[in-house]
A = this chain, B = another copy of it.
């Protein structure tokens, strides 16, 4: 199958592209920067002409649309990119997919659920309910889904929506905008302070498990049953099975790093409640297990061990540098 992965230089794009090629697909990547990869074409998805050029070269049967502005705080700090990349970029892709009848897999987010207060999040709870959003990023990810649903209903776009929960693991390079596992590992390794919100619970999915399930979508795309939303788009939660408090997860990171490196406990701050974030997010994984052969094979203890080791190998030289 000819596949295009947008955002292919990202934490998720890199292993997905690798896996698709391993499975024998002709998989092209595109992202903002140049690359040495011969099956890669530089492209800003906000620029229709650049994307159109790729479609003319690759003529994909299927597109994984991962290119997006990512993260709550990033979305507030860079809302210009958020709305243009996530909304205009997605609309550009929708139009181009329609023109050649290519399938599209949208990288959605658990943030689309907003602050539902529900104990477990089943895909269809968003069909006609909308929950409180705390930030523009959540709103923007919810909107991407609706753009796809509108086009599926109106134009016959062939689409699948995946709602990613907390994927983590090797390959996620640190910035202050990254996921909580990445933040904790990097900052503790570098003797930087961390803040643990006691009221939060999450599940965590190791990148290898994420990659396998997401790559499965390409092969199963045409057999997936219609979704219950107004566009009939199949929607799947992609998340982990181990549901833990942020505090318990942090404890695993602390123990893992503590094996080889002394940790200054005074750098660890506990706060009862985080404002403007969703306290608890637990996916119902029934549909992904049923239709996508979704399996969580890497337990959190092992995943954190692998993440910490990867970080030590990548950041070895800079480790333990104090923050300016």
Which residues of A are at the interface with B, using a C-beta cutoff of 8 A?
Answer: 48, 79-80, 83-84, 87-88, 91, 128-136, 139, 143, 146-147, 150, 153-154, 230, 275-276
A82 to chain B minimum Cβ distance, whole angstroms, is 8
Among A131, A133, A153, residue most surrounded by chain B Cβ atoms (within 10 Å):
A133
Q: How distant is the Cα of A77 from the Cα of B275 in the complex, in angstroms?
A: 39
Is the CB–CB distance between A147 and B136 below 8 Å? yes
A sample of 7 cross-chain residue pairs with beta-carbon separation below 8 angstroms, ordered by A number, consists of A79-B91, A80-B88, A129-B129, A129-B130, A134-B153, A135-B150, A154-B275
7 tightest Cβ-Cβ pairs between the two chains A and B: A83-B87, A130-B130, A132-B230, A79-B91, A83-B88, A80-B88, A83-B83
Bound together, the chains give a CA A136 to CA B146 distance in angstroms of 9
- Complexed CA–CA distance, A139 and B147 (Å): 8
Instruction: Kindly list chain B residues whose C-beta atoms are within 8 Å of the C-beta of A132.
Output: 153, 230
- Are A130 and B128 in contact (CB-based, < 8 A)? yes
Min CB–CB distance A226 → chain B (angstroms): 15
**What B residues does A276 contact at CB under 8 A?**
154
Specify which chain B residues have a CB less than 8 angstroms from the CB of A134 in the assembled complex: 150, 153-154
Cβ contacts under 8 Å, A154 to chain B? 134-135, 275-276
Write out the residue numbers on chain B whose beta carbons fall within 8 Å of the beta carbon of A84: 83-84, 88
Cα distance A14–B15 when bound, in Å? 55
| CB closest chain-B residue, reference A79 | B91
Contact A139 B150 (CB under 8 A): yes
* 8 Å CB contact of A133 from B48, B83, B135, B150: B150
